[in-house]
Amino acid sequence: MMRRVAVVMLLLAASTPVYAVDEIGVTLTPAQIKDLGIATTPAAKTTAPPQIAGLAMILDPVALIQAVADFDSAAAAANASRRQSERLAGLYKDDATVSQQASEAADAQARADDAKMNALESAANQAWGPAAMADDHAQITALLKDVADGKIAVARVEFPASARPAPSQQMTLSAGTSDRTVAGTVLWPAAGLNQLTDGEAYMVKIDAAGRSWLRPGLRLGAGTTGTAPPRTQVLVPRAGVIVADGALWCYVAESGGRFTRHRIVPSDSGAGDMLPADGITIGAAIVTQGAGLLLAAEQRGLLAPPTAGDD
C-alpha cells in the first residue's frame, strides 16, 4: 500500500502534466494499473417490483372515534325524527287527530336532523375515507375498539397518483431509525387529494402495541411495492462509488487500459454492498479498488498514456 501511495504522490507532484485528459477518464499502462492496485467487480443485476415512496402521518385516534360516534348519534336521531314525522303525517292525513302544525313541526325536525346527519357523515368521510363509511361503516366497526384500546394506530399515507396500492397491501413506515420502523396494511382510499403533489391518500392500520412513539401528528416515510411490472436493475458495488462535482460516479475498466468515469443515478436506496443504479450496463467492470486514485490522477491529468515500449 505504501508503494502505491508513493507512486501516486510522485505522479501528482510532477510540475507539468504529462497526460492531458480530453474526456472523462484516464488510460493507464499495465505497470501503472499494477502499481495503483486497481481491482474491478462486475456490475450485477436484480429483477424486482418497483418501490414507491410516500409520506405518512399518524392520525388522532380520539378524533377518528369521535367522528364515527357523532355520525352514529346523528343517524339515530335522524331515523327517529323521520319515523315520527311519517307517523304524524299519516295521522293528520287519515283522521286529523294531529294538527297540521304538529305534523309540519315534526317534518321540519326530521329535515334538520337529516341535515345534521349528512354534515357529520361528511366529517366522518373526511376522517376515515368514503369507502369506510359505506354500508353502515361495517369495515371500521371491528377496528374501533382496537383503536380505542391503543392496539392499532391509523395513519394517512400519501403516494404519487400512479402508485395505487391495493386494499390489504403491506407497506413499511419509518421514523428514520431501525427501531422505529413498522409494517402497515392498506385499509382503503382516504378522502381528498394532495393539491401540491397531485398524489392520492390511503388509510393504513399499524400494530401499535408496545410502540408508544406512534403519537398523533408523527410524520413517517412510507414505502411499498408498485403495481408496475418488475424491472431489471443494475447493481453497482458501493465500494466503487465516488463523489465528484456533486454527483455520484464510478469507473468502468475498458480495453487498452482505459478507465472511463460514468455518472450513476441511484434508482432506489438499495441495501447491503450493492447500489441499484441507472447509467451502467450489466456486467461492466466497476473499479472497486483504486477509484479515488484514478479520480485524483484524472482531475490533474498527470498519468502518462501508454507507449509502444510499455508492457
pLDDT in tens, 180-230: 889 999 988 887 766 555 678 889 999 988 898 999 999 999 888 766 677
pTM over 0.75? The answer is no
All three cell numbers of 117: 346527519
**pLDDT given for residue 22 in this prediction:** 42
**pLDDT given for residue 198 in this prediction:** 67
**pLDDT given for residue 83 in this prediction:** 92
- Span of 139-153, 161-175, 223-237 with lowest mean pLDDT: 223-237
Q: Which fold has domain 2-49+231-300?
A: 2.40.420
All three cell numbers of 299: 482531475
Share of the chain above pLDDT 90, in %: 24
Domain ranges of the chain: 2-49+231-300, 54-225
How far apart are the C-alpha atoms of 32 and 139, rounded to whole Å? 69
- Span of 17-21, 150-154, 207-211, 269-273 with lowest mean pLDDT: 17-21
**pLDDT given for residue 310 in this prediction:** 43
CB 190 within 8 A of CB 201: yes
CA angle 169, 172, 178 (to 5 degrees): 160
The more confidently predicted of residues 267 and 31 is: 31
The more confidently predicted of residues 121 and 225 is: 121
Nearest to 233 by CA among 262, 275, 261: 275
pLDDT of 296 strictly over 70 = yes
CB 193 within 8 A of CB 200: yes
**pLDDT given for residue 89 in this prediction:** 85
pLDDT by residue (tens digit) across 124-135? 888 888 777 777
CB 53 within 8 A of CB 225: no
**pLDDT given for residue 51 in this prediction:** 73
Nearest to 129 by CA among 60, 74, 70, 193: 193
Share of the chain above pLDDT 70, in %: 82
CATH of 54-225 among 2.40.30.170, 3.40.50.11540, 3.40.50.1240, 3.90.76.10: 2.40.30.170
